[in-house]
């Protein structure tokens, strides 16, 4: 089904606003709606490939940008597939956070084990 003239106008307006703000420097990420992960989802919304693993959000700021970008999309572009791509980004960040927590706990356990061993005797010490 071809987009209507109104849908095309909405697409143009969205893309024009996005292009004008892309590349702007925003410290703290307040209001940011662009970046690698959000660009991948928007590209997908406009017929591009499914976002790759390497394009998933790195932190909460990246995921927030994805959420904002999808919210700003014209309604006719917020299809179930696009919403699934957004959910995939959410899930990817949860998995990453879980892996990071597991690594941190393993590191702390190793450090605690080393601290509990005390000094090691060597041949030179005996």
What are the tens digits of pLDDT across the range 4-13? 999 999 999 9
Closest by alpha carbon to 96, among 64, 69, 65, 60?
60
What are the residue ranges spanned by the domains of the chain? Answer: 9-115
What percent of the chain has pLDDT above 70? 87
8 Å CB contact between 68 and 38: yes
What's the whole-number average pLDDT of the chain? 87
Predicted confidence band at 39 (pLDDT cuts at 50, 70, 90)?
Answer: very high
Closest by alpha carbon to 72, among 37, 31, 35, 44?
31
Q: What is the pLDDT of residues 16-34, one digit of tens each?
A: 888 887 766 665 556 888 8
């Amino acid at each position: 089904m071809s987009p209507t003239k109104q849908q095309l106008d909405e697409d143009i307006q969205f893309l024009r606003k996005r292009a004008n703000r892309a590349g702007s420097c925003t410290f703290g990420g307040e209001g940011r709606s662009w970046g690698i992960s959000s660009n991948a989802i928007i590209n997908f919304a406009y017929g591009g490939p499914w976002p790759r693993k390497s394009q998933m959000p790195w932190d909460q700021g990246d995921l927030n940008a994805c959420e904002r970008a999808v919210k700003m999309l014209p309604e006719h572009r917020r299809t179930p597939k696009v919403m699934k791509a957004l959910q995939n980004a959410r899930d990817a960040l949860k998995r990453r956070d879980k892996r990071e927590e597991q690594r941190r706990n393993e590191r702390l356990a190793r450090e605690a084990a080393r601290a509990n061993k005390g000094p090691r005797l060597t041949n030179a010490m005996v």
